[in-house]
């Protein structure tokens, strides 16, 4: 009977997925044709960014209540958790992105989308400056937009700690183009190592892939690289594959500090089995074109020649966030990002809200936090609108009964609950079809690692992907990889 129940659940899931896909196909092709135009009587909310935080806010904001404008230098949402898989071709980049207009074109009311970077926020005049920084520019590449409310969801940028040479020679792993650059450079290193007459030392250098930072980004990248080496490069480059070396450098005594001790040990022992060289308690001090200078636990500095360097040492604030903080020196004094109150309002302001990696809160800078904040903030905005509406109703009430009734409604609208984060668990891929998971379980947590956890990792990511189209594409990419392996062409 267990088998019967399993079959029923699977069939039910499959029918649901196909139904959802058909619905989405229809949805994709039939956007709202004539959305109501911008209404000057409504307040305008300008949203900066099209990442986890802003997209989640955009999905939930009620355009019947506000005019909405989106400004972002990229016109799409990117599903970052699977980005490390794009660096070696396990997944195609196009499978992880979805245009932001996919959301805006289905709203009842017009939402303006500008592919541009916000370069300045004038919080006194309530105006932002936007610049078209893309390759193709028209006669006009700068403009200004007035706002009633500003929602800052611009994320963060890769941290370098000001270490010399990182920007110039390292590859970050944050955006689509970072993954593309890593993939191209990796294949270039290998093909250059195969060039005739290369000295053994130069071959060794070119085939040394160094990852700096033992957080989840660095670990997942090293894991993907390992799989690519074992499953594909070994067959395509039999004479070179044995010489490819992967090294991970981490400043702290162990990797993945946010995970349980047993999962850290499990990851480190898995890396050992996979022949990934782990250098903990080792700081990178300088990056040169062909070598990095590292300082080990004994304090001695040494040179480490490399071919490809992937830099994953966490986040730092973007210049726009730093500029905004500088306008409020008394309230904005946390270097990590924008200080916000429990309702995500930027400290020191009345009409600027901030969420996601752009902020400095007690939560880790993760997609989970950013997405929950976005959804929550849309509810705050609905209540802000209701507050204003009932304030006017109280003013205009003709009778004491009507005034009392609207007063009660006003009080209810004003009672905005603070943001509450619900942690769904942490997952990380560690290579060889193994993943680790720290999941909340009752009052404690459940730590698991291995192949079964990898199956869970896959299903969790599939179910969280943005659209049914993304889900089909990722499943297809995984299937393609199983049958034909990864593509080694240099793009
Ligand atoms: P982002 O998603 O970075 O979005 C910022 C947006 O702002 C972008 O659209 C950007 O183009 C735009 N922008 C930038 N500058 C400007 C400007 N001047 N004006 C207007 N717009 C601007 N978290 C998890 O919870 N689970 C995971 O498995 C996970 N995996 C990850 C894997 C990788 C490789 C990386 C890099 C991160 C991962 N994260 C994960 C973290 C997660 O991606 C971030 O916490 C999340 O993206 C933060 O969302 P955000 O909206 O604040 O910023
Ligand atoms: P991170 O901040 O988590 O880790 C960076 C690591 O780099 C730290 O362990 C730090 O000690 C090390 N480091 C710093 N400077 C160094 C130096 N000079 N030399 C050597 N090591 C150095 O950064 P990461 O991995 O980019 O993650 C950023 C955020 O995104 C985190 O909140 C993380 O949880 C989230 N994320 C989550 C993922 C998941 O859940 N699977 C995947 C990727 C990111």
Residue nearest to atom 37 of ligand 1 (CA): 80
Whole-number Å distance between alpha carbons of 416 and 377: 10
**Which residues sit opposite 439 in a β-bridge?**
446
pLDDT of residue 180: 97
Locate tokens 């909310």: which residue? 45
pLDDT of residue 32: 75
Whole-number Å distance between alpha carbons of 369 and 258: 15
Q: What is the pLDDT of residues 254-292, one digit of tens each?
A: 999 999 999 999 999 999 999 999 999 999 999 999 999
Whole-number Å distance between alpha carbons of 209 and 243: 11
Q: Judge if the beta carbon of residue 153 lies within 6 A of ligand 2.
A: no
Average pLDDT, the chain: 96
Q: Judge if the beta carbon of residue 270 lies within 6 A of ligand 2.
A: no
Q: Judge if the beta carbon of residue 312 lies within 6 A of ligand 2.
A: yes
Residue 462 · residue 471 · CB < 8 Å: yes
Which ligand gives the minimal distance to the CA of 465? 1
Which residues, 6 or more positions from 239, have their beta carbon under 8 angstroms from its beta carbon? 194
Task: Answer whether residue 34 shows pLDDT above 80.
Answer: no
Q: Judge if the beta carbon of residue 314 lies within 6 A of ligand 2.
A: yes
Cβ atoms within 10 Å of 137's Cβ, excluding its own: 11
Q: Judge if the beta carbon of residue 51 lies within 6 A of ligand 2.
A: no
pLDDT of residue 27: 77
| Probe residue for ligand 1, chosen from 370, 426, 436, 474 as the CB with the greatest number of ligand atoms within 8 Å | 370
Residue nearest to atom 12 of ligand 1 (CA): 49
| Probe residue for ligand 2, chosen from 51, 52, 217 as the CB with the greatest number of ligand atoms within 8 Å | 217
Q: What is the mean pLDDT of residues 128-137?
A: 96
Task: Answer whether residue 13 shows pLDDT above 90.
Answer: no
State the complex-level ipTM.
0.98
Q: What is the b/e burial string over 272-297, where b = at least 16 CB atoms within 10 angstroms of the residue's CB?
A: eebebebbbebbbeebeeebbbbbee
Share of the chain above pLDDT 70, in %: 100
Which ligand gives the minimal distance to the CA of 370? 1
pLDDT of residue 6: 84
The predicted model scores a pTM of 0.95
């Amino acid at each position: 009977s267990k088998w019967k129940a399993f079959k029923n659940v699977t069939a039910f899931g499959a029918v649901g997925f196909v139904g959802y896909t058909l619905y989405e196909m229809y949805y994709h092709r039939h956007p709202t044709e004539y959305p109501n135009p911008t209404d000057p009587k409504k307040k305008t909310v300008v949203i900066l960014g099209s990442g986890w935080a802003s997209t989640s806010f955009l999905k939930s904001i009620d355009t019947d209540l506000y005019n909405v404008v989106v400004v972002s230098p990229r016109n799409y949402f990117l599903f970052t958790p699977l980005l490390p898989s794009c660096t070696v071709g396990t997944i195609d980049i196009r499978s992880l992105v979805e245009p932001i207009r996919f959301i805006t074109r289905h709203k009842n009311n017009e939402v303006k989308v500008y592919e541009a970077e916000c370069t300045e926020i004038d919080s006194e005049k309530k105006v932002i400056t936007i610049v078209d920084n893309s390759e193709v520019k028209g006669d006009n590449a700068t403009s200004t937009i007035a706002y009633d409310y500003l929602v800052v969801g611009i994320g963060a940028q890769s941290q370098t700690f000001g270490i010399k040479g990182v920007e110039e020679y390292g590859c970050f792993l944050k955006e689509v183009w970072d993954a593309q650059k890593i993939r191209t450079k990796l294949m270039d290193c290998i093909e250059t190592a195969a060039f005739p007459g290369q000295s053994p030392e130069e071959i060794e250098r070119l085939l040394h892939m160094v990852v700096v930072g033992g957080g989840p980004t660095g670990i997942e990248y090293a894991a993907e690289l390992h799989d690519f080496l074992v499953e594909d490069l070994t067959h395509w480059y039999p004479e070179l594959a044995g010489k490819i070396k992967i090294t991970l450098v981490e400043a702290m005594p162990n990797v993945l500090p946010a995970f349980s001790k047993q999962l850290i040990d499990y990851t480190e022992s898995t890396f050992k089995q996979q022949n990934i060289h782990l250098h903990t308690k080792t700081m990178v001090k300088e990056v040169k074109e062909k070598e990095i200078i590292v300082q080990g636990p004994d304090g001695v500095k040494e040179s480490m020649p490399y071919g490809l360097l992937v830099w994953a040492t966490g986040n730092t604030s973007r210049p726009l966030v730093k500029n905004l903080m500088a306008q409020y020196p008394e309230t904005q004094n946390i270097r990590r990002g924008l200080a916000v109150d429990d309702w995500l309002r930027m400290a020191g302001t009345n009409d600027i809200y901030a969420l996601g990696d752009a902020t400095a809160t007690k939560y880790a800078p993760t997609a989970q936090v950013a997405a929950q904040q976005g959804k929550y903030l849309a509810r705050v905005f609905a209540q802000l609108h209701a507050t204003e509406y009932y304030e006017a109703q109280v003013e205009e009430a003709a009778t004491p009964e009507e005034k009392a009734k609207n007063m009660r409604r006003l009080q209810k609208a004003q009672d905005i609950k603070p943001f509450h984060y619900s942690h769904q668990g942490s997952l990380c891929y560690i290579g060889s079809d193994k993943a680790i998971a720290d999941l909340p379980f009752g009052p404690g947590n459940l730590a698991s690692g291995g192949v079964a956890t990898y199956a869970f990792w896959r299903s969790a990511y599939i179910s969280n992907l943005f659209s049914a189209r993304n889900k089909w594409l990722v499943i297809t990419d995984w299937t393609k990889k199983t049958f034909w392996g990864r593509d080694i062409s240099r793009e």
